[in-house]
């Protein structure tokens, strides 16, 4: 699915563009997610996981999402640079087609200026417009209070907490929180 360019003004007055990345943006998209993964332990994939991904892999990923009928992927561009991204995937199974899953990642220097809210607005709007979608779900690391506040702002409620889903390099564990929003 392709998200047409949308110009937004952020809290600090910066202009940003929300759009689906082009194939030539693959290296920039990969670098953006690597940066975000290196800045926080709150993403499900670590920098080591992303180091295995090549630009060619990312080009294929972009091609797939652009051609997908079930996934909408949006990147936020500031001054031509990808600051972060989000996606919504609509389930297609006969028993699950009423559900969609969302995710978001944002580089730390772009936190707290409204990008997350702008991207979530578009994801929820896409879910509301998608025929048959009744529930949107997401997962986040329990200690990520900023993410929790964003999700609650958009009406998501905690459904469950799964203990020790991720194990960090220092041997500590992270719990995974599962949330849902009913449309």
Kindly list the domain boundaries of the chain, sorted by start residue. 6-134
Domain 6-134 fold: Aminopeptidase (3.40.630)
Instruction: Give the mean model confidence (pLDDT) for residues 51-79.
Output: 95
Q: State the pLDDT at residue 44.
A: 79
Query: Which pLDDT value is given to residue 53?
Result: 84
Q: Where do runs of H (alpha helix) occur along 15-173? A: 26-39, 47-51, 55-67, 115-129, 145-153
169 pLDDT above the threshold of 90: no
pLDDT interval class at 126 (50, 70, 90): very high
pLDDT for position 142: 92
Residue 168 has pLDDT above 90, yes or no: no
Instruction: Evaluate whether 138 touches 43 at the Cβ level (below 8 Å).
Output: no
The yes-or-no verdict on residue 119 having pLDDT over 90 is yes
Per-residue pLDDT of 30-53, as tens digits, reads 999 999 888 887 877 777 778 888
pTM of this prediction?
0.93
Residue 17 is predicted with a pLDDT of 98
Given a cut of 80, whether residue 1 has pLDDT beyond it is yes
Q: pLDDT at position 183, please?
A: 96
Q: Is the pLDDT of residue 177 over 80?
A: yes
- Reported as a single tens digit per residue, the pLDDT across 139-155 is 999 999 999 999 999 99
Burial class (CB in 10 A: 0-12, 13-18, 19+), 86: buried
Question: Residue 76: is its pLDDT beyond 90?
Answer: yes
Length in residues, the chain: 183
| Parallel, antiparallel or unpaired: strands 135-141 and 157-167 | unpaired
């Amino acid at each position: 699915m392709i998200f047409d360019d949308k110009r937004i003004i952020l809290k600090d007055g910066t202009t940003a563009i929300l759009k689906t990345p082009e194939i030539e943006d693959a290296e920039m998209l990969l670098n953006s997610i690597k940066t975000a993964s290196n800045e926080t332990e709150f993403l499900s994939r670590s920098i080591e996981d992303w180091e295995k991904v090549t630009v060619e892999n990312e080009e294929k990923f972009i091609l797939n999402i652009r051609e997908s009928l079930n996934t909408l992927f949006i990147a936020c561009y500031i001054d031509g640079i990808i600051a972060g991204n989000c996606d919504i995937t609509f389930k297609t199974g006969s028993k699950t087609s009423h559900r969609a899953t969302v995710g978001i990642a944002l580089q730390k220097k772009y936190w707290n200026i409204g990008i997350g809210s702008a991207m979530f607005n578009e994801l929820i709007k896409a879910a509301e417009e998608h025929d048959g979608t009744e529930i949107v779900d997401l997962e986040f690391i329990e200690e990520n209070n900023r993410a929790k506040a964003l999700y609650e702002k958009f009406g998501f409620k905690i459904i469950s907490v799964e203990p020790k889903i991720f194990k960090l390099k220092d041997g500590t564990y992270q719990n995974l929180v599962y949330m849902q929003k009913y449309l």
